[in-house]
Amino acid sequence: MNLKHFNLKLRTLNRLTSPAKQESARPRFLSLVDMGLDTVKAAVVDMSSPQNIRVLGHGLAESHGRDIAGGRAQAAELADVTNRALQAAEDATEAAIGRKIVPDDAVFLLPSRALAGVTVTVSRRRPPRSDAISAAELDALWARGVQKTRQRLQTLPDHTDWLIQNIAQTELRLDGKLVSDPVGLRGRNLSLGAYGVTCHPATIRGIEQLAERLDLNIHQLVPIPQSLAALVPGGDALLLDVGAGGTDCLYVRHGALIDTRRVPFGGNFFSRHLNKRFKCDLVDAEALKIAFGSDSLVENDVRLVRRGLEEPLQRWATETASAINHLLPAVDFPQLPPHLYFTGGSAILPGLKNMLLYALKDAGRTFEHPPQIVNLGEHALAGFRGDPGGLRGVLFAPVLSAARFL
C-alpha cells in the first residue's frame, strides 16, 4: 500500500477478499441488490469508470415483509422477488446502451437489522525526538486497531456467533489534529479510529443460498450503513435512512461512518397507523401513504392523512431525537452537525423532517449552523450517470451506494 496516496477507504478488512484483490478483479458490469422488507431494489451498473459510475438499469419488486433470514420458505419466495427486480433492471439496460447486460457478479447490501457495529480507537505515544512516522509504524497501529476491533465484535452480548464483515479506518490524528497521511511527519501522539461490523449468520447463509438459486457470483457483501456513508460529501453529517422496518441514524465524520443507532419505527409503523385510523387493509394504507408522500392526493384527503399521521410522526421524531442524543451526547457534542441527509421510502413524508427538528429543539439540541437538509437521490448523485431522480431516486440511493463503497 502506497501511503503517500493514502485514502481512508483503502484501509479496510472485508470477509471475502482483500481491498487490493477486489480492485484488480472488479468486473466491468455489476448487479447491485438491496433486499428491503417492503421492496427489493436492483440496479445494473457499468464500473469501467469508478469515479463516474453509469447506471444502466434499475428495477424493484415488492417483498411484502419477507426476510432473507426468515427461513427456507421465505428465502425461496425472496429469490423469486429478487429475480423479478434483477430482470427489470437487466431489461432496462437495452434501452440505455442498445444491448442487454446480464452480469454474472452481484453486490449484496447487508441490511442494518442484521448488523452490529463498534467503534474503537488505538493510539501510540511516541518517544521525544523520535524519527518521522514510517509506513511500517502506521501499519503496526492499523494491525492493533483491527485486533482490538475484532475482540470487541466477538465479545458483543448475544453476538458471539456472528460473522465479522468489515473493519474500516475512520480517522487518523497526530497530536490531536486530523491528518490524511502522517508518513514523514513528526509528533508525539498518533491515534487511529476504526469501525467494525458483524452480521447475523442466518443473513449470510440466506444470501449465499439465494445467489446459488439465481446462479450469481457474490462479488462482495456490503454493510448498508458503511455503504450509505460513502454517498455523504466530506465533512460532518447525520444521515437518516427511513426504511420499512425502522430508521437508521448514522453519524458521519470527515466522510467516514463513526457510529449508528437504530429506531424501530419506519414506513410500516406509519402504514399501520393509517390502517387503523381509516379501517382499511394494509395494502391500501401503504398506497395511501405513498400517495401522500408523492403529493398525489386531493386537498381534502391530504388534510385527513396529515391528521392521521401526526401522532406516529411525533413518536417517530421523539425516538429519533433520543437516538441522536445517544449517538452524539450533548456533553461531548454540544452542537449537532449542520448537514442532515435523508433516504428511504418514507423519508419524503410531508412533515417528517420538521417534526424531527422540533423534537431536537425540545431536547435542547442546537446545530453549528442552520441545518442543510437533503434527500439523497432526489437529485443526481455525485459520481453517477443515469441514476433515477425524485422519489425513485430516494428509494434507489441505498442500493447505488454499494457501487460507491467498492
Are residues 135 and 209 in contact, defined by beta-carbon separation less than 8 angstroms?
no
For range 14-22, the mean pLDDT? 40
**Cβ atoms within 10 A of the Cβ of 400, count?**
26
Residues 278 and 145 in one domain: no
For range 378-405, the mean pLDDT? 94
Residues 144 and 242 in one domain: no
Bridge partners, 198 (sequence order)? 116, 164
pLDDT band for 12, please (50, 70, 90 cuts): low
The total domain count for the chain is 3
Assess if residue 285 is contained within a domain.
yes
pLDDT at 141 over 90: yes
pLDDT at 254 over 90: no
Segment 159-206, tens digit of pLDDT = 889 999 999 999 999 999 999 899 999 999 999 999 999 999 999 999
Are residues 82 and 31 in contact, defined by beta-carbon separation less than 8 angstroms?
no
Residues 119 and 106 in one domain: no
Residue type, 39: T
Q: Which of 182, 201, 220 is the last residue of a domain?
A: 201
For range 16-42, the mean pLDDT? 76
Residues 139 and 176 in one domain: yes
Q: What is the pLDDT of residue 233?
A: 83
Residues 311 and 358 in one domain: yes
Residues 36 and 70 in one domain: yes
Q: Which of 110, 135, 166 is the last residue of a domain?
A: 110
CATH number at residue 42: 3.30.420.40
Which residues form the domain of 81? 19-110
Q: What is the pTM of this model?
A: 0.90
Assess if residue 400 is contained within a domain.
no
For range 65-81, the mean pLDDT? 92
Assess if residue 388 is contained within a domain.
no
Residues 120 and 171 in one domain: yes
pLDDT at 55 over 50: yes
Bridge partners, 220 (sequence order)? 107
Residues 92 and 59 in one domain: yes
Residues 280 and 343 in one domain: yes
Residues 163 and 122 in one domain: yes
For range 386-391, the mean pLDDT? 93
Bridge partners, 53 (sequence order)? 384
pLDDT at 14 over 70: no
Q: What is the pLDDT of residue 151?
A: 95
CATH number at residue 154: 3.30.1490.110
What is the average pLDDT value for the chain, to the nearest integer? Answer: 91
Segment 309-368, tens digit of pLDDT = 999 999 999 999 999 999 999 999 999 999 999 999 899 999 999 999 999 999 999 998
Q: What is the pLDDT of residue 11?
A: 52
**Cβ atoms within 10 A of the Cβ of 323, count?**
18
Residues 106 and 124 in one domain: no
The count of C-alpha atoms lying within 13 angstroms of the C-alpha of 7, restricted to the half-sphere facing its C-beta, is 10
pLDDT band for 235, please (50, 70, 90 cuts): confident
pLDDT at 54 over 90: yes
